[in-house]
Chains A and B, each alone.
Chain A
């Protein structure tokens, strides 16, 4: 086989392989969407984060605006400290409310941001003051049972 033809087939093979990598990166993976080039980071303290994990999405009005970067436990206040990065294109007011929400009944947990009405905007490194913890199913059930039980007693 001549060297030219050999080069042609090898070139074809390498191009096909690189195309497969590109396909995996763009169509199968989330390289096109997940990488925010310019970000700033915020932190928020929660009493309970439930099943929130690093790299979980941060959404506002259902749109992904950032990702959770780090989850840490604060031994002083016994709270969870969550730091997350937000796309620099999006600015949120100082009194923004951070909640831990669940996608679907058993889906993964994410941070929801409800913007407030403050004139000043959150800056890089700021801490969100108002937060709401994750809903823990066991607590919800026990609350419900407790309410039911007390209802039963008052009926008597």
Chain B
């Protein structure tokens, strides 16, 4: 009962938030990024956290959604974006089924490596084909849906929020359903699960399909929102790693872990990218603006967010392998 109250309050706050902050594209933009990463990481969590199958290639499904939607809309501009999203799900599911049939026969090191290889094949193919725009990417001039103002950011805020809620809903349902118990049994001990009669390949593929479909919807939304995509934005290995890192920091295999991770990591990355952190240090008088360190911070901190991600990953694996939520669980 307490949890339902909490969720209701959170949902109401999330729905009301754009009305409270008003027309502030910068803040809304950051919130959209937070919601997207929270949803991406939660979708990954269904496969990685509950079934214990660490996919290092989730960018492939995000890219599948984004590219399908953008290619369809550049060729048939009158198409309803929702149909494009649906086609994106189909494309991502096909890639997921092919991937699943290859990688789920493998374990441990081999599974992680194979998932990267599949994602790299997708990325390189998109880069080399002509109909995908190759290295130049795809630029979309105009989108419309039911007369909504898609130039404003609010529709995308609610879109991402909706996908996040659906993903969390599926995760919450899975936790206490038969499928969910089977997935957790597979995570804990594949051989034991198999000997109890659980069809390993069926349940692994099922969780991969759910995860890939949700990820592709987010990819489609991202494409419609930014209206420009290229392989480095939507298919890069770095995206796959960011998705995993977000889940790890919050807590893998927990319902709220990926959300917590996204609310920490995305604003941090944004602060580094826009150099708020460097400016704050200088303003606080900790670093002199004209000193060598001050100049270095001003010039370089904006490029350092991947470096910071690396440092956080290492610290997290060494000191906080169960994530922030794992910390609380231990304290109880």
- A and B found bound together: no
Interfacial residues, chain A to chain B (CB-CB below 8 A): none
Interfacial residues, chain B to chain A (CB-CB below 8 A): none
